[in-house]
Amino acid sequence: MREFISVCCGMGTNSIAILVGYYQRGIKPDLITFADTGSEKPHTYQMITVLNNWLFSIGFPQVNVVQKVYRDGSLANLYDHCKDRNMLPSLAYGFKNCSQKFKIAPQDKFLNNHPAAKAFWKTGEKITKVVGYDIDEVRRADNAPDETKKYKMSYPLIEWGWDRDDCIQAIISVGLPRPGKSACFFCPASTYNEIKALKEHYPELLDRALVLESGAELTTVKGLGRRFNWAEYLSQPDMFGRWPKDWDMPCGCFDGGEE
C-alpha cells in the first residue's frame, strides 16, 4: 500500500527544505497545508505565492491555507483572540494552546474533511504527517508520539541528517529565496534579536504587539517575553544581557532555528 503524505508547511526554512528534498528524491506529497493564525509576518504571506509558483512548476500540489473557524463561521485571528481577552498567547504562560488551536487543529480538521484523505483512511492505513524538525531538533521529535490514531509521524530532515545550513543550501539550489523566520509577530518565543528585527522591518507590527502586552492582565509573567517585558527591553536593551540559556519553550509551530 502506498503512503499518503501530508506535509505541515510552516512557510519557514525547514518545511520548505522538506519540499525541496522530496523533489530531489522524486517523492510527491499528496497534500501540503499551512495554518494561518491571521497574525503572521508579511514575508510569510508573500512566501506562499512564491512557493506555490515553484510547486506548480514541478508538478507538486499547491499549498492549502487553512485557518481556525469559530462556531459562527468567522475566521479566527490569534492577535484579536488575545486582545479581546486581555491576555497574551498561551506560550507566554508556559503553555502551547495557541499552536494546538490555531495551527495543529485547523490542519487536522482540513484533512478530516478532505475526500482523498478520507478515502485513504477507509483502507485502514494511517496518513504520514510530515513535520520539519531538523537534525538539531532530535529531542523534539523524540518527545513527540511516533503515531496517533490517524497519523504516522515523519521527520525527513532528521532522516536525511540535514541541519539548518543544509536546509538553506537546498532552498537556494532550486532558485527559491530564503523564506525568513516564520512565526506570529508577537510570539513569546521571539529572541532579543528578533524583537529588534521586528522594530526595524515591521515597526507597525511591533506597535501592535506592545499594545497587546500593555493591555494584558498579568500576574504570573512579566510580559510577552514571559520572563521579561518587550517594552522594557526596547527602552533599555543593554540591561538585559544575553538570551537566557534555560529558555525551553519554543513555539509549537516554530519552524527551525533562527535565520
CATH number at residue 73: 3.40.50.620
The three-state secondary structure class of 138 is helix
Identify whether the C-beta of residue 63 lies closer than 8 Å to the C-beta of residue 55: yes
| Domain end call among 173, 200, 231 | 173
Q: Is residue 124 part of a domain?
A: yes
What pLDDT sits at residue 22? 98
What pLDDT sits at residue 241? 73
What pLDDT sits at residue 259? 36
Q: How many CA atoms lie within 13 A of 144 on its CB side?
A: 19
* Count of CB atoms situated within 10 Å of the CB of 192: 18
Q: Which parts of the chain have pLDDT scores under 70? A: 1, 242-259
- Count: domains in the chain: 2
* Same domain, residue pair 168 and 196: no
What pLDDT sits at residue 257? 38
* Same domain, residue pair 223 and 130: no
What pLDDT sits at residue 252? 55
Angle at the Cα of 91 from the Cα atoms of 129 and 77, rounded to 5 degrees: 75
What pLDDT sits at residue 4? 98
